[in-house]
Amino acid sequence: MKFKFYHTNINVFDLEKSLTFYKESLGLIEVKRKESEDGSFILVFLGDGETSYSLELTFLKNRKEKYNLGDNELHIAFKVDDYDQAYKKHKKMGCICYENPKMGIYFISDPDNYWIEIIPMER
């Protein structure tokens, strides 16, 4: 028996805002969408165009309050081929929420305050 990573899911409060953020900040594109028959939710799968792994965004149409992420200890990580350019881009976007120069990484925060770790490709 063999298991393979498939996707990670997060719930988002504003689907369009999240889609814009993930495209602009990480270059992720929509690869699949599913809407419930009753219209209560939308699932959007984002991909990087290179791997089969995806980020699933779940949007609940009747959700009125933002999500409580607790201590926000969970995060998603991306490796990038041009760390310095990525850093400049994210700095300009104002989405860097934590930096650890000693480890050579930083984190950005999405519209729902999920943290995303940015790691140089060579690490």
Q: Which domains does the chain have, with CATH numbers?
A: 1-62 (3.10.180.10), 74-123 (3.30.720.110)
> 74-83: per-residue pLDDT in tens?
899 999 999 9
Q: How confident is the model at residue 9 (pLDDT cuts 50, 70, 90)?
A: very high
Q: Assign 112 to helix, strand or coil.
A: coil
When pLDDT is averaged across residues 92-107 and rounded to a whole number, the result is 97
pLDDT for position 3: 86
Percent of the chain with pLDDT over 90: 88
| The dihedral sign for the CA sequence 86, 98, 118, 19 | negative
Q: For residue 64, what is the DSSP state?
A: -
Region label for 111, one of left (φ > 0), alpha (ψ between -120 and 50) or beta (otherwise): alpha
pLDDT for position 65: 92
> 13-39: per-residue pLDDT in tens?
999 999 999 999 999 999 999 999 999
Which amino acid would we find at residue 43? Answer: L
Which residues lie below 8 Å from residue 6, measured CB to CB, with a gap of 6+?
A: 52, 53, 54
